[in-house]
């Protein structure tokens, strides 16, 4: 792969097997001069408790409701939900299926998860024990909402650069009664792979990538890689090294090691450009069938083609302030990157990860 003039040293395209989309890689452009800004960010330190923050313990939310004096992970129903439970007598909810202008009703549940009572401690500054409580909460919420919804999206939008409105460390859950587009595609691609190769796609990826040039970190149960097909410069994929379809099916022993991997990865990200690293991250696992059954039948089909995974999509390119924009050719044709996934992985791999 590193022989001179190999495919990987010139412009080439790589295919994302989860989405069947392609990314253009232009490694020869890495040497071009850079005249843009590269200065450090001016992130001000935050107080441990901010009474004006809507997510802090004891603080008042935008609705006037007061948060409890919570001391660990805290979940509440989003006051401004993007989707809501459908009303019981919803007679106007039929689909509108014109060939050109189709619409359908949507229902669901939105919640907010505060990772910790501390306003100034993102995941990278939590202890592994504290991160494990977040993992437990993700699992519990996934199980509870999966009993009533087809899809449960656990995610975190972090940093002003990603449009996050509040710096208090938090994530969100949007559970919907439909399978969103991105998951429809991942479901289909994994199903195809399973039917052709008899093994879950992402288990094969983890086996292949372990200790390879795109590995960022690994422990007993988990592996973090910059995927071969990454579009964002420092995009990573967090993969289990064992078969598991959903967050709530992770065995207890692997929850502790997952907390370790999450802490390690987020600290590497913070060190890369010496800033509180922005990203959008989220979990993808096997969808539910969306109906309420007793516990043995709740999950619908066996979903053997599915393997749980988390995507991290950070926007930064070369410093705390210089971000990658998906514009121009990328909006109109396909995503493009200069830094290769192997170079990005090497940078993340070489960083020290001790807690400060």
User: Residues with catalytic annotation?
Assistant: 170
Binding mask 42-81 for ligand H2U (x = CB under 6 A): ------------x------xx---------------xxx-
Nearer to Zn ion, 53 or 139 (CB): 53
Q: Site residues (CB under 5 A) for Zn ion? A: 50, 53, 55-56, 119, 168
Q: Which does 56 bind (CB under 5 to 8 A by kind): Zn ion, ligand H2U, none?
A: Zn ion
Buried/exposed 38-50: b ≥16 CB within 10 Å, e otherwise: eeebeeeebeeeb
Closest CA to 287 of 272, 277, 302, 276: 302
Nearer to Zn ion, 120 or 188 (CB): 120
Nearer to ligand H2U, 84 or 301 (CB): 84
Nearer to ligand H2U, 73 or 339 (CB): 73
- Bridge partners, 109 (sequence order): 175
Binding mask 91-120 for ligand H2U (x = CB under 6 A): ---------------------x--------
Q: Which of 141, 142, 157, 189 binds ligand H2U (CB under 6 A)?
A: 157
Q: How far is the C-alpha of 187 from the C-alpha of 43, rounded, in Å?
A: 39
The CB-of-113 to ligand H2U minimum distance in angstroms stands at 10
Cα 310 from chain centroid? 5
Q: Which DSSP category does 291 fall into? A: S
Q: Which does 164 bind (CB under 5 to 8 A by kind): Zn ion, ligand H2U, none?
A: ligand H2U
Binding mask 17-36 for ligand H2U (x = CB under 6 A): --------------------
Residue 150 tokens read as: 């087809």
DSSP secondary structure string for all residues of 63-125: TSPBPP---S-EEEE-SS-SS-PPPTT-TT---EE-SS-EE----EEEEEEES-S-TT--GGG
Nearer to ligand H2U, 61 or 318 (CB): 61
Q: How far is the C-alpha of 270 from the C-alpha of 41, rounded, in Å?
A: 12
Closest CA to 193 of 306, 302, 308: 306
Sheet-wide strand order for 336-337: 12-16, 21-25, 336-337
Q: Which does 53 bind (CB under 5 to 8 A by kind): ligand H2U, Zn ion, none?
A: Zn ion
The CB-of-51 to Zn ion minimum distance in angstroms stands at 9
Q: Which does 74 bind (CB under 5 to 8 A by kind): ligand H2U, Zn ion, none?
A: none
The CB-of-283 to Zn ion minimum distance in angstroms stands at 24
201 and 18 Cβ atoms separated by less than 8 Å: yes
User: Contacts with ligand H2U in 169-188 (CB under 6 A)?
Assistant: 172
Judged by the rule CB under 6 A, the positions of this chain that interact with ligand H2U are 54, 61-62, 78-80, 112, 157, 164-166, 172
């Amino acid at each position: 792969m590193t022989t001179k003039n190999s495919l990987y040293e010139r412009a080439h395209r790589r295919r994302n097997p989860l989405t069947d989309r392609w990314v253009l890689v232009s490694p020869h452009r890495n040497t071009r001069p850079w005249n843009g800004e590269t200065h450090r960010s001016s992130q001000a330190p935050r107080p441990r408790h901010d009474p004006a923050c809507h997510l802090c313990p004891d603080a008042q939310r935008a609705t006037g409701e007061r948060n409890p004096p919570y001391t660990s992970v805290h979940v509440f129903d989003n006051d401004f939900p993007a989707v809501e439970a459908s009303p019981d007598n919803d007679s106007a909810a039929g689909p509108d299926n014109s060939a050109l202008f189709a619409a359908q009703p949507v229902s669901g549940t939105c919640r907010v998860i505060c990772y910790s009572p501390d306003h100034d401690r993102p995941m990278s500054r939590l202890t592994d024990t504290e991160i494990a409580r977040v993992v437990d909460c993700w699992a519990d919420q996934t199980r509870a909402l999966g009993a009533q919804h087809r899809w449960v999206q656990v995610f975190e939008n972090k940093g002003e650069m990603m449009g996050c409105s509040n710096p208090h460390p938090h994530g969100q859950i949007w559970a919907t009664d439909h399978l969103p587009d991105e998951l429809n595609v991942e479901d289909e691609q994994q199903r195809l792979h399973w039917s052709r190769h008899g093994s879950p796609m992402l288990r094969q990826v983890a086996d292949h990538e372990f200790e390879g040039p795109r590995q960022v970190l690994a422990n007993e149960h988990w592996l973090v890689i910059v995927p071969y097909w990454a579009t964002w410069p420092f995009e990573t994929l967090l993969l289990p090294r064992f078969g598991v379809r959903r967050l709530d099916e992770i065995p207890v022993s692997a929850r502790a090691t997952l907390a370790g991997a999450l802490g390690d990865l987020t600290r590497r990200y913070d060190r890369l450009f010496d800033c509180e690293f922005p990203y959008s991250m989220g979990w993808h696992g096997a969808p539910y069938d969306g109906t309420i059954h007793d516990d043995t039948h709740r999950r619908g089909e066996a979903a053997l083609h599915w393997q749980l995974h988390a995507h991290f999509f950070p926007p930064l390119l070369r410093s705390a302030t210089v971000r990658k924009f998906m514009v121009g050719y990328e909006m109109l044709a396909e995503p493009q990157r200069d830094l290769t996934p192997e170079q990005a992985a090497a940078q993340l791999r070489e960083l020290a990860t001790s807690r400060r």
